[in-house]
Amino acid sequence: MRSSATLLALTLAPLALAQSAGKPPITEPLIVDGQLVFPDNNSIPRSLTPTELLWMKTHASNGHNTRGNPAPPNGPVHCAAEYEPMQGILVAWNGTSGQTTILATMGANITTIGNADLYVVGTTAQQSAANTALTNAGANMSRVKFFTYTTNTIWIRDYGPRYIYQGDCRAIVDHTYNRPRPQDDAFPQWFGPQKKQPVYDIPLIHGGGNYHLSALGDSYATLLISNENPSLTNPQIIDHWSNFQNVNTTITAAYPTNVDSTQHIDMWMQILGDRKVMISDWPSNVGSAQDVICDSAAASMQASGYTVYRVPARSLSSVHYTYCNTVICNDLLLLPTYTNSTIVNAGHNTEALNSWKAAWETTPQRKVVQVNCQAIVSSAGVMHCIAMHVPAPRGGANPTAYLKSPNTSATYNPGDVVPLSWITDDDVSVSNVDLQVSLDSGATWPITIAGATADDGSENWTIPSIYSTHARVRVVARDAQGNTGFDMSDADFTINGPHCDADFNNDGFVNALDYDAFAELFEAGDLGADFNNDGFVNALDYDDFASHFEAGC
């Protein structure tokens, strides 16, 4: 009996021979010992393949990775729009030679005109190929960052990661990928720790290309999301996105699958500004289902205050030619162009370029760059589908921090153990953190819980025997260059230790600040200086306070 390894080798052998002979790479995964196997550099489309559909019918999990109990991020959350400042674009170096040529052209423009990093995910062999292709394409290689990970496919938009800001720190919201591609599905869970960024698991089966949003928090998806999550109502789906990403989602109609097999909204819509959107038009299919969907969305968004731009779209031989599936990176917009003779002769490439120039090139710095995408469009996706945005760190070169807890009003007693939790962010990485306590609402920080401690996100703090009604905690993040940034509790909390009467300002210490605070109220005749509580402010209060002050309590 042959082993699994032998069976896999025999199964893959014809594929290797075909590829070495110059034949097209595989367009379907293989089933080996009941598992789907995805050879490197495959041409598996964005849509589900027949093999995957067959496999899903016999597997209850549908190939989805198991995740823990989901809990949304706390505190202020902002989901990054694609037209906001970006640190980089993330790509999976997979697919055919024609498709990786597109990646190389994208990378050259992203690392130069786009003024951003290119994060390349792939095996060692794929990284080597990427290095050569990007160098030859003219990329700024100092801005290319490699991550060693084996993906199943090139379609990284659909499996993530989706970025939010939690406070001023970047974090990831991950969904269950709507394809039985386990390595792709697991990628955000792997990538988050590589970047020291938390990952929150939204309880939705989803493909990330079926989603667009603005920086104002309005977002859009098609009814595909409802079909993929039949146990949830649309309001429940909308609530999940609201809880995890702080957005208000509109669910639109979806294209018929014979026009677009993915039914993803990024094939016909691109939000390019706070109130600006590009939507497909179908001049060769007026009145078709897809034309009605686009016209309806355009009218609705215009009524809500959007400036709506239109570009042509065309369906030829079951291939959806779209000019909305673009990549925005800072001042750069990458626009697909095609060599199909019908598309060229109809003037669609030129018409799309003119529409995008009018919409995007509103400043001298902004540029639209066309990229030949004929080699990928027949796989049910274009450039937006093979790129994921990594937003810029809000602190620039300085670290940022977000204190998750304690962050509300509370009362603690000496000896209580209070868990502190936080996250940090930086353009490179945070080296260590300080954990400090204030007893005067953040004016001073006299107590250090831990100095230059590991940035592991948690620490148990045993409450000391002091008294304060204005206590706060802060975390100070520090990078290797000594740059710092901090966040502190949003509200005062009480430490209910023994109270010293001479600690007039309740900061836990008896010093000149207490004397000054008492004297100010005393001179004003304020009842707050009624130290002996007899209802009057006079010399007796002064003498009583002075006696306690001199005694140190």
Mapped onto helix, strand or coil, the DSSP state of residue 166 is strand
Instruction: Enumerate helices (H) and strands (E) in the chain, giving the number of each.
Output: 14, 30
Phi, psi of 245 (to 5 degrees): -125, 0
Q: In angstroms, rounded to a whole number, what is the distance separating the alpha carbons of residues 259 and 248?
A: 28
Map 7-44 to HEC letters. Answer: HHHHHHHHHHHHHHCCCCCCCCCEEECCEEECCCCCCC
pLDDT at position 500: 82
pLDDT at position 110: 98
Over residues 385-441, the pLDDT tens digits come to 999 999 999 999 999 999 999 999 999 999 999 999 999 999 999 999 999 999 999
319 bridge partner residues:
316
Q: Could you please report the per-residue DSSP string of 450-463?
A: EEEE--SSEEEEEP
Lowest mean pLDDT among 6-15, 75-84, 215-224, 438-447: 6-15
From residue 269, give the alpha-carbon distance in Å to each of 54, 210, 288, 325.
31, 10, 17, 7
In this prediction, residue 21 has a pLDDT band, given cuts at 50, 70 and 90, of very low
Mapped onto helix, strand or coil, the DSSP state of residue 108 is helix
Phi, psi of 303 (to 5 degrees): -65, -25
pLDDT at position 531: 87
Q: In angstroms, rounded to a whole number, what is the distance separating the alpha carbons of residues 177 and 158?
A: 7
The reported pTM is: 0.89
Q: Could you please report the per-residue DSSP string of 497-530?
A: -PPPTT-TT-SS--SHHHHHHHHHHHHHT-GGG-
- Mean per-residue pLDDT of the chain: 92
User: Which residues, including other chains, have CB under 8 Å from residue 512's CB and lie 6 or more apart?
Assistant: none
**In the predicted model, what is the mean pLDDT of residues 457-481?**
95
Domains and CATH numbers, the chain: 77-391 (3.75.10.10), 397-499 (2.60.40.10), 500-553 (no CATH)
pLDDT at position 5: 35
